[in-house]
């Protein structure tokens, strides 16, 4: 087979998941409750088809089978997250030995099958008790997170070398404190800024702690959903709108985690509008000293931005949208099954930006993928013929390949996701997996893309 797009030797081929979305066993194995268990109990009607976090693909009991499937499709790496409320029910205090056994088993099984585990510590799943203390608004919760991180490094750091503090830390800020799609459903920009800031401090404390452990070839990173911001035109008002959207949604985490400081323009905007969070002496130095070794980039879609056409209501609450409007670029390509724009070149633009402005930090695509509603309609001969997903991945890999050729320090590609999973409020609405999962029987079936990625991994390209 001739390979047109060959990737560097040792390229990481794999997929990403998160604990709450795949484990199931929400009330088993000594797990404590987290905000998803609570919110579902309070408002199950807000979840797609009323399906909650108890209904998953049951990785907790089926991880051995899943690791075999990963192996069959050529994965050399796999991302999972640890559930904080499983490892430390209640968020602080005693470690749950059943959880230690479970994660030990998963990690050992992966390694025995030559699949390197990438372990993330937090994927939207705050232990309920800590949320009741104020969640990320509380400085005490920052300390509890740092303790949790230390436990994880101590327990699993002898075998896991790639660690991540947070997945998409801006999503709980947006969902929980600005736009009402995550618990605790607050809409208040100042509180959102505090949550974002404390998450960053918690991240830096975990990085600092990580470096006190002697982890062989250990690397610590953060996983950010970067949505490159494209202005409608080159006129100054559109350019400014786009730059400010970039500050709020990308650079608010990218700059402090990779460069060690917040962009001055973002600080100025928040200060001018009375939205600055409360800080403590020493935080600035802590963030400065604890930049990441490795950056995971989740890329799904770009952000198209234009200057505001109407003035914000001066009496309305402060929102990032005071500074820009979104717009739909005419002729854009769409994933019509999810309603998101597809713009493959975005992946290249992100990587070039990292190369030019972020010291060419070592990075990888930690999530990219195509969600499809009602995917069963594409079943032929018992298999989902997801040619659209293969095209989607190819298109992105071509641009990633170009970025690498031009010197980007990019080491791998993980699809979201290994198998169809429960996705927060969207539950099982959008399917992303290489494997489909029958939610009743839990049976996994490879989609066409699973067979295709096996070839790609074997050839280290396509």
By annotation, the residues acting in catalysis are 367
Interface residue with ligand BG6 among 225, 257, 409, 449 (CB under 6 A) is 225
CB of 322 to ligand BG6, least distance (A): 25
- For ligand BG6, the closer CB: 301 or 410: 301
423 is a contact residue toward ligand BG6 (CB under 6 A)? yes
- Radius of gyration from C-alpha coordinates of the chain: 21
CB of 376 to ligand BG6, least distance (A): 16
17 is a contact residue toward ligand BG6 (CB under 6 A)? no
Q: Which residue is nearest to ligand BG6 (CB)?
A: 423
168 is a contact residue toward ligand BG6 (CB under 6 A)? yes
CB of 248 to ligand BG6, least distance (A): 17
- How many residues bind ligand BG6 (CB under 6 A)? The answer is 13
Stretch of 209-217, 242-250, 423-431, 437-445 contacting ligand BG6, by CB under 6 A: 423-431
103 is a contact residue toward ligand BG6 (CB under 6 A)? no
- For ligand BG6, the closer CB: 100 or 439: 439
Interface residue with ligand BG6 among 11, 145, 337, 416 (CB under 6 A) is 416
18 is a contact residue toward ligand BG6 (CB under 6 A)? yes
Residue written as token pair 């400065």: 288
Name which of residues 284 to 323 contact ligand BG6 (CB under 6 A): 298
Report CA-CA distances (Å) from 115 to 68, 112, 286: 10, 8, 34
426 is a contact residue toward ligand BG6 (CB under 6 A)? yes
What tokens were used for 376? 């069963």
Contacts with ligand BG6 by CB under 6 A lie at: 18, 21, 167-168, 225, 298, 338, 367, 371, 416, 423, 426, 430
């Amino acid at each position: 087979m001739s390979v047109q797009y060959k990737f560097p030797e040792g390229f990481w081929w794999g997929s990403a998941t998160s604990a709450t979305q795949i484990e199931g066993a929400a009330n088993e194995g000594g797990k404590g409750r987290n905000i998803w268990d609570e919110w579902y109990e309070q408002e199950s009607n807000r979840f797609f088809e009323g399906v909650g976090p108890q209904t998953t693909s049951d990785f907790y009991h089926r991880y051995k089978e899943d690791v075999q499937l990963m192996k069959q499709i050529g994965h050399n790496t796999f991302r999972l997250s640890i559930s904080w409320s499983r490892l430390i029910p209640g968020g602080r205090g005693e470690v749950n030995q059943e959880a230690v056994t479970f994660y030990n088993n998963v990690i050992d099984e992966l390694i025995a099958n030559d699949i390197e585990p990438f372990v993330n510590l937090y994927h939207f799943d705050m232990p309920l008790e800590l949320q009741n203390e104020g969640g990320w608004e509380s400085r005490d919760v920052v300390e509890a997170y740092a303790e949790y991180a230390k436990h994880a490094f101590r327990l699993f750091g002898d075998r896991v070398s790639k660690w991540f503090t947070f997945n998409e830390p801006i999503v709980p800020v947006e969902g929980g404190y600005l736009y009402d799609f995550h618990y605790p459903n607050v809409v208040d920009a100042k509180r959102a800024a505090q949550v974002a800031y404390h998450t960053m401090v918690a991240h830096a404390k975990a990085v600092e702690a990580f470096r006190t452990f002697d982890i062989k070839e250990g690397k610590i990173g953060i996983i950010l959903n970067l949505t490159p911001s494209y202005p409608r035109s080159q006129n100054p008002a559109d350019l400014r709108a786009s730059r400010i959207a970039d500050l709020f949604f990308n650079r608010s985490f990218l700059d402090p985690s990779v460069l060690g400081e917040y962009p001055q323009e973002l600080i100025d905007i928040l200060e001018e509008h009375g939205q600055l969070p409360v800080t403590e002496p020493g935080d600035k130095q802590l963030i400065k000293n604890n930049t990441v070794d490795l950056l995971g980039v989740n890329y799904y879609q770009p952000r198209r931005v234009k200057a505001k056409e109407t003035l914000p209501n001066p009496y309305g609450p402060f929102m990032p949208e005071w500074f820009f409007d979104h717009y739909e670029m005419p002729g854009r390509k769409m994933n019509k099954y999810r309603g998101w724009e597809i713009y493959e070149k975005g992946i290249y633009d992100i990587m070039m930006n990292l190369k030019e402005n972020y010291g060419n930090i070592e990075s990888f695509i930690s999530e990219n993928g195509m969600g499809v509603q009602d995917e069963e309609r594409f079943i032929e001969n018992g298999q989902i013929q997801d040619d659209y997903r293969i095209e989607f991945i190819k298109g992105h890999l071509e641009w990633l390949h170009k970025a690498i050729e031009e010197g980007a320090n990019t080491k791998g590609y993980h699809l979201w996701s290994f198998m169809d999973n429960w996705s927060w409020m969207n539950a099982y609405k959008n399917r992303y997996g290489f494997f489909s999962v029958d939610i009743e029987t839990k049976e996994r079936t490879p989609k066409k893309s699973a067979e295709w990625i096996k070839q790609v991994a074997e050839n280290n390209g396509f």
